[in-house]
Amino acid sequence: MDPKNSLEKATALYAIGDAAEDLKKAGAEDFEVKAFITGARDKLAQERPDYDKYAKAYAASARFNEANQ
């Protein structure tokens, strides 16, 4: 992941955390806060994909499949 994309992703994760804290302070239930965090992180992963991480996961999966056949 290039440094600019990494920095933007980290900034967005901090913003998600701040928004979750605001929700909790406003009286939201724990499951509502967790649902917000999960949805926001999923959307972030779609908007800012980490192709290096995908490549590593694919390689690990291929090694596992080869070892278990």
Contact 1, 51 (CB under 8 A): yes
Residue 55: burial class (beta carbons within 10 Å; 0-12, 13-18, 19+): exposed
CA distance 52 to 1: 6
Residue pointed to by tokens 């999923």: 42
pTM of this prediction?
Answer: 0.75
Instruction: Render pLDDT for 14-61 as a digit per residue (tens, 0 to 9).
Output: 999 999 999 999 999 999 999 999 999 999 999 888 888 889 999 999
Q: What are the respective helix, strand and coil percentages of the chain, to the nearest 5? A: 85, 0, 15
